[in-house]
Amino acid sequence: MLGIPYFYFLGAISGFVSLVPYLGVFLALLPPLAGGIEMLNKTGVVVVLVTVILLHILTMNVLYPRS
């Protein structure tokens, strides 16, 4: 929707690095923002930030079991 090229690769990389403890959400923001650096306007950056943060919160609190 935002026109980021290779979004499927960037999404996989972003999902993988989000598993890093304490730094996951910050590292997960880098691939999509770097991939869309010339295409995203301020609204697109906000959409990427909100989407990645919400998916990270959902994943870490609902999908992964606590130990």
pTM score of the predicted model: 0.82
Q: What is the CA radius of gyration of the chain?
A: 12
* Residue 34, in any domain of the structure: yes
**Rounded distance between C-alpha atoms, residue 20 and residue 11, angstroms:** 15
* Residue 32, in any domain of the structure: yes
Higher per-residue confidence, 3 vs 47: 47
* Residue 26, in any domain of the structure: yes
Residue 42: pLDDT over 80: yes
Token code pair at residue 42: 């301020």
* Residue 22, in any domain of the structure: yes
The parent domain of residue 46 ranges over 7-63
- pLDDT-based confidence at residue 21 (cuts at 50, 70, 90): confident
Number of alpha helices (DSSP H) and beta strands (DSSP E) in the chain: 3, 0
* Residue 27, in any domain of the structure: yes
What's residue 27's pLDDT? 94
Mean pLDDT, the chain, rounded, equals 89
